[in-house]
Amino acid sequence: MRARVFVTLKASVFDPQGKTIADALHSLGYEAIDEVRQGKYFELDLKTTEAEQARALAAEVADKLLANPVIESYRIEVD
């Protein structure tokens, strides 16, 4: 199975990189883009063939290492 982990800064956390990227897009003429939030993306190739096991394992390592819950939240996709 493959688990995809998307880590982003929590909504309450200011994202200076996202803001700078948004400013750059605006200066390129993309006024239709209101706001940008950037983050990290992890692909985990897992030995298991069970989707629930894969999801649980991805959540475990996200909690333990991939994300810092003080500033970040994460979302997992499994396929």
Partner 1 sequence: MPSGAGREGTGGGGGAPPQSKKMKFAVVVFPGSNCDEDAYHAVTDVLGQHAEYIWHKDTDLKGADVVILPGGFAHGDYLRTGAMARFSPIMREVERFAARGGPVLGICNGFQVLLEAGLLPGAMLRNDNLKFRCEHVYIRVEQTDTPFTLACRRGQVLRIPIAHGEGNYFAEPDVIARLEANRQIVFRYTDAAGDVRETANPNGSKAAIAGLCNEARNVVGLMPHPERACESVLGSADGLLIFESVVAALKTGAFGGSTGPALQTVR
The count of other CB atoms within 10 Å of the CB of residue 70 is 7
50 binds partner 1 (CB under 8 A): no
Q: How far apart are CA 10 and CA 7, in angstroms?
A: 9
Contact by Cβ (8 Å): 63, 24: no
User: In the complex with partner 1, which residue's Cβ is closer, 51 or 71?
Assistant: 71
Number of residues that bind partner 1 (CB under 8 A): 12
68 binds partner 1 (CB under 8 A): yes
Contacting residue, 5, 9, 22, 54, with partner 1 by CB under 8 A: 9
Any long-range contacts for 31-38 (C-beta under 8 Å, 24+ apart)? 37/8, 37/9, 38/8
User: In the complex with partner 1, which residue's Cβ is closer, 16 or 29?
Assistant: 16
Binding site for partner 1 (CB under 8 A): 9, 12-14, 16-17, 20, 65-66, 68, 70-71
